[in-house]
Amino acid sequence: MSTDRDHSAKRDRLRKARTLNRSPEKVRDPMFATGDFFDPEDLLQVRYEMVRLVRLGGATLAQAAERFGVSRPTCFRMVKAFREGGLTALVPAQRGPRAPHKITPEIVKFARTCRQRHGRIGAKRLVPLIEAEFGVRIHPRGLEKALARAEKKTPEAGP
* Cα 98 to Cα 22: distance, rounded to the nearest angstrom: 22
Measured in Å, how far apart are the chain's first and last C-alpha atoms? 70
The residues with which 42 forms a beta bridge, in sequence order, are: 20
Q: Which pLDDT does position 1 carry in this prediction? A: 53
Contact 107, 134 (CB under 8 A): yes
* Cα 150 to Cα 93: distance, rounded to the nearest angstrom: 27
- What is the four-CA torsion angle of 62, 91, 86, 77, rounded to 10 degrees? 30
Flag residues of the chain having pLDDT under 70: 1-2, 154-159
